[in-house]
Structure 1
Amino acid sequence: MTVSEYLEYCARELDREGLCFGHGTDNPRDEAAWLVSASLGIPVQALAGAAGEELEPSVAQHAEKLLRARIETRQPLAYLLGEAWFCGLRFEVNADVLVPRSPFAELIADRFHPWMDAREVTRALDLCTGSGCIAIALAKHLPWMQVDASDISPAALAVADRNRRLHDLESRVALVQSDLFEALANRRYELIVSNPPYVARRAYEGLPREYLAEPALGLISPGQGLELPLRILAQAPEHLAPDGQLFCEVGESAGALEYLLPDLPFTWLQFKHGGDGVITIGRADLMRHRPAVVRALENLNDVL
């Protein structure tokens, strides 16, 4: 069987089993390409050049084992491989961290243009860093920045530390264990990015098994998915420089956030390569509307 033939077989099997795709790919063909290229030990971009080659028995056996594990366990392929890609960079991943997939990759590649001049940023914070992918991508693509990366989970920070070492960034990416801003007193940043938990528990319980394989700590936020995003909005002004900017992903909670805070001048970002539910807002606007954010946080369970 050739590489091309096995790729087609693999895509058919993934499609037939009705799996959920959303952890690095969004369709069975791309997932099959990732699985086969990983089994061959080549970049997925090189797969076309190997299409006519015969698949060696040992490679076929390894690929089939991965395919069966993906189908039977519904684990994201990234967990089975122990790696994922974000912003063109390889990262170690396991079940202690979410699989990287944030639209922040596009923002970083575009250097946050046109929303801010990233050349003026010397210190940045990645809040709820997980695997460290956003912080490390910031440091790699914007090499003049010093980046703090915080997370409440020691297990996640251990993964982030290995990824920081993988990319030789120990001197430019600092890891901090913190419940949001709790351990970041007196630190100020020109840029804060955050992909916090924003999924309501009820919504989480209805997610496909692939998402349930991820750490609930990285997905679920109390208060119908809004408590953590609202805490970030309320506390961020204390940690932003005077002209600082916050970028925060709120995903499926976007509509509820707009309902709660209709007067806040959020800019909702649009992406060329998919993704939504990301806001940006400056420190001055956050300060001006902070009383409304605090009220929304205090009355959260009564309103929704």
Structure 2
Amino acid sequence: MPQYRAHCDARIEFVNGGSLVAEGFRLDLPGDLPPESADESVVGRLLVRHLGLALVDSIDVSNLAIVEERHRGSRGIEPAAPAADQRGRLVDLGHTIRDGLVTYPGLPEPTITPHLSRADSRSRYAPGTEFALDTITMLGNTGTYLDSPFHRYEGGTDLAGLTLETLVDQRAEVFHLTDASARGIRASVFLDRDVAGRAVLLHTGWDRHFGAPAYAHGAPFLTEDGAAYLVEQGVTLVGIDSLNIDDTESGGTRPAHSLLLDAGIHVVEHLTGLDALPPSGALFTAVPPRVVGFGTFPVRAYARVM
């Protein structure tokens, strides 16, 4: 089902004095609102509701354009009900691991070699029965992977200590940031939503460069104040479709990793396909194997769109 957003300028006057001016504001339109019905007065009322404004005297909306565009999660705008054939739809959010895959430029690539080939196995089994046993050698940081606290802290919880309750069917808040003008994702991005107890997924669109040299340079990241805010709010997990949750071009500091993992908040890096998720309502899952004394491992990340 198509989704629409309003692009406009606005000036809002208040009955007790003062005004609010917005330029180039963008606002989701409700799914049951025909786009041709979204005139200046309708959009003005939606804008007031989205901003939670009180004692409004007048609303002047100008330069209005209605654009077919994926919703970003405007507050007070109810999403359209999904089509019947989309209820419970599964969306794969991980990269495929293959021999020689480059995940993070400069780190070792996985190698896959046969331990027992099908041809060699024929002599071990009954006629017509054969198996392939393969060996994969790879860094934990391969493909789409999850960081546990042990990745950053010696005494942190390792992969074997993670509970399924924090990994499976996490209610997701997806922030679509493909048109952001800055690399750093600050705390202010999250202020309009309740993220407590949720998985926060950062859709930057940087996954389009995955496997190419461009992936390693100029990647979006979560700022220190953004990480601190998510810790304060009590999120369960933070995922990003970029090179790293931190800015790898600012030296050796890793404030987002440090803050999130110290708080027991899992980090999932190198996601892909987040454009297919709504801003709210999906259930996110990313489960690594239970490995003792290990901090990072690939996951099959996916979301269920209800």
What band does the TM-score fall into relative to the shorter chain?
A: under 0.3
Greater C-alpha radius of gyration: 2
Specify which structure has the bigger relative contact order, considering alpha-carbon pairs within 8 angstroms and separated by 6 or more residues. Answer: 2
TM-score (norm 1): 0.28
TM-score (norm 2): 0.28
